[in-house]
Chains A and B, each alone.
Chain A
Amino acid sequence: EAGVAQSPRYKIIEKRQSVAFWCNPISGHATLYWYQQILGQGPKLLIQFQNNGVVDDSQLPKDRFSAERLKGVDSTLKIQPAKLEDSAVYLCASSLVAGVSRETQYFGPGTRLLVL
């Protein structure tokens, strides 16, 4: 079974530039998550999709971050414009069943973003 795919793996940009990340979850997984992991900290949820609808984006900085999940499969996360404090690893995860905290989350390899 293929895992969660993410691209790019690394990205270096200057502040105020824009960047986009892509995620392809495990086939058949209803729920998709985007996390931000700052160095030395645990993953922090940015947004959660259930199929193609948003169920939690309470911690997404909506003035600069946006995300979509078209057709309930792939997802993109965009930052525009980027700030220095956005330097982090952006992890995508998926789980099979929607709306159940007991479900195992499967993480992708992440995108390491460095904002200069």
Chain B
Amino acid sequence: GQQVMQIPQYQHVQEGEDFTTYCNSSTTLSNIQWYKQRPGGHPVFLIQLVKSGEVKKQKRLTFQFGEAKKNSSLHITATQTTDVGTYFCAGPGGGSQGNLIFGKGTKLSVKP
């Protein structure tokens, strides 16, 4: 079945360092969404990318959608302790139901 692979599974950084997580799909995605889940919390929508090669920024977060629409990345510049959490990418689950397939997530820890 359709899968969305995410790497790395864990990332430990010193506060102020940069962080990147990558998302890959074996099939072309019509769109990709990114969610953040704080420890003990629930996934919260961050952004959606739709166009090939699209780049979107939210303050220190930069999201990219690959030219082939099979991969995506999230880059955080100068991490802060508030960035701690697990970042998930999610792509369409196929069919016309509008459901999502989530990656396993990248768990980010930030050492002050």
Contacts and interface: CB of A to CB of B under 8 A. Distances in A.
Determine if chain A interacts with chain B: yes
Interface of A: 31, 33, 40-45, 48, 50, 55-56, 91, 93, 95, 97-110
Nearest to B42: A107
A95 B102 contact: no
B42 A109 contact: yes
B67 to A, nearest CB: 20
Contact of A99 (B30, B44, B98): B98
The interface size bin for chain B is 20 to 34
B30 A101 contact: yes
Nearest 10 CB-CB pairings of A with B = A42-B102, A101-B92, A107-B42, A99-B98, A55-B97, A101-B98, A104-B45, A56-B97, A100-B98, A107-B43
Given A42-B90, A43-B88, A110-B42, 14 more contacts: A42-B88, A42-B105, A45-B101, A48-B99, A50-B97, A56-B95, A91-B42, A100-B98, A101-B30, A101-B31, A101-B98, A101-B99, A101-B100, A106-B45
Interface of B: 6, 30-31, 33, 41-45, 48, 50, 88, 90, 92-93, 95-105
A43 B95 CA distance: 19
Nearest to A45: B99
A32 to B, nearest CB: 11
Contacts of B98: 31, 48, 95, 97-103
A56 B102 contact: no
Contact of B96 (A44, A99, A109): A99
A2 B50 CA distance: 28
B48 A44 contact: no
Nearest to B96: A99
Contacts of B97: 48, 50, 55-56, 99
